[in-house]
Amino acid sequence: MKSSRNDMVTKSSEMNNLAARIEQLKKEFEDLVAFISDPSNSSLPQYREKLKRMGEISDVIKKGDEYFSIDRKIEELKELQQDESLKEIAEQEISDLLERKSEIERELEDFFFSSPEDKNDCIVEIRAGTGGEEAALFAKDLFRMYSRFAERKGWKIEVFDFHASDLGGFKEIIFFVHGENAYANFKYEKGVHRVQRIPDTEASGRIHTSAATVAVFPNVEEDEIKINPEDLKIETFCSSGHGGQSVNTTYSAVRITHIPTGITASCQDQRSQIQNRARAMKILRARLQDMIKNQKEQEISKERKNQIKTGDRSEKIRTYNFPQNRITDHRIGLTLYNLQEILDGDLDPIISQFRRINGIGFDREEQ
């Protein structure tokens, strides 16, 4: 009973927090409208910025109004529940309204508690770590999982570059995810993923432990980070396919090196050198932006570790245990026993848990 009472107090606190933020945003919107409506402000430098901000929050204001409206309707329907002839209808309407209210809450949380880059497309890199061929096969399984997840969301995946292993796994694969809030969902996948299972090549039936690393970067548009063309070393080479065999005899593959930092990016998936170069630049910009971001964070905390780490099994963020049909996310202490469903792309149960922890029920710094 005590736990239930605490849950109710926490939920009430969350709702009050959200309501307060909506009211605060409505006040900001009113101030913006007053500013924009004054003709004398049209020539001021901040006019365009305030106009843009007003457009950004107008839909959120509408959702906030709907949120409060639903609360009022629910209270009215609760009174109708006292009438036996209307009770069943009122309960059904309350159920429908509560479902819609939950949807709005999630949408509002996305706005209030997300970073500007969360809505971006993203670049995902998977690399086989400890475990040889089995690690490469696991990397392929992760790519399949993310592809299925993106498909469920209606997002599009483009493979930028990959290096296959002898048994058809991936030593490395880099792909681009097109979709609203793609980075907001994929960012929780950064780190070392560990798998425990019996490999197909294991005759004795012994369980092996392998690992693969996942790195995720928000897409960076060309105008967001300036790169001096003179700082780039661009090389072309023949594309190669599975096992390293040549897939064409033209120099369509591209490798770009940012000389000041030593960061490199390559792409060979397309037959066109121009397309491969454009994709390699996307990867390079994302890696440079990530490096800049990391440097800023390291100024605050020098002990911060790199997201890719070493690929060692001990640095795991998540374990996929096949014999027990178990998946455990060690960062939040979440254990589920539906491994196959997760591998088929049903990542929402894990992501929603992260969103809850990072959401309105917990202390967070203002964005």
pLDDT per residue as tens digits for the range 64-74: 999 999 999 99
pLDDT of residue 295: 75
Q: Could you tell me if 67 and 15 lie in one domain?
A: yes
The DSSP bridge pattern shows strands 208-218 and 253-258 to be unpaired
How far is C-alpha 157 from the geometric centre of its chain's CA atoms?
14
Q: Could you tell me if 297 and 320 lie in one domain?
A: yes
Question: Domain for residue 118, yes or no?
Answer: no
* Listed residues 112, 136, 163: the one ending a domain: 112
Question: Domain for residue 189, yes or no?
Answer: yes
pLDDT of 52 > 50? The answer is yes
Q: Could you tell me if 101 and 143 lie in one domain?
A: no
pLDDT averaged over the chain? 83
> Do the beta carbons of residue 109 and residue 360 sit within 8 Å?
yes
pLDDT of residue 219: 87
Q: Could you tell me if 34 and 156 lie in one domain?
A: no
* Listed residues 69, 89, 112: the one ending a domain: 112
Q: Distance between CA 57 and CA 115 in Å, rounded?
A: 15
Question: Domain for residue 201, yes or no?
Answer: yes
Q: What is the pTM of this model?
A: 0.64
Q: Could you tell me if 69 and 207 lie in one domain?
A: no
pLDDT of residue 9: 41
Q: Could you tell me if 144 and 263 lie in one domain?
A: yes
pLDDT of residue 245: 46
Q: Could you tell me if 165 and 184 lie in one domain?
A: yes
Which structural domain range is residue 64 located in? 2-112
Q: Could you tell me if 32 and 141 lie in one domain?
A: no
pLDDT tens by residue, 215-266: 999 888 776 777 888 889 988 877 665 444 444 556 778 889 999 988 989 8
pLDDT tens by residue, 132-157: 999 999 999 999 999 999 999 999 99
Q: C-alpha distances in angstroms, 287 versus 159, 312, 338? A: 17, 22, 34
Q: Could you tell me if 198 and 328 lie in one domain?
A: yes
Q: What percent of the chain has pLDDT over 90?
A: 46
* Count of domains forming the chain: 2
* Listed residues 53, 83, 112: the one ending a domain: 112
CB atoms within 10 A of CB 255: 18
Q: Distance between CA 121 and CA 176 in Å, rounded?
A: 7
pLDDT of residue 11: 47
DSSP assignment letter at 313? G
Question: Domain for residue 137, yes or no?
Answer: yes
Q: Is the dihedral of CA 162, 168, 171, 173 positive or negative?
A: positive
Question: Domain for residue 174, yes or no?
Answer: yes
Question: Domain for residue 280, yes or no?
Answer: yes
CATH number of the structural domain spanning residue 286: 3.30.70.1660
Q: Could you tell me if 35 and 132 lie in one domain?
A: no
Q: Could you tell me if 82 and 133 lie in one domain?
A: no
Question: Domain for residue 299, yes or no?
Answer: yes
Question: Domain for residue 145, yes or no?
Answer: yes
pLDDT tens by residue, 110-125: 777 667 788 889 999 9
Please, what is the Cα angle at 320 between 318 and 326, to 5 degrees? 110
Residue 75: half-sphere exposure toward Cβ, Cα within 13 Å? 6
Q: Could you tell me if 131 and 83 lie in one domain?
A: no
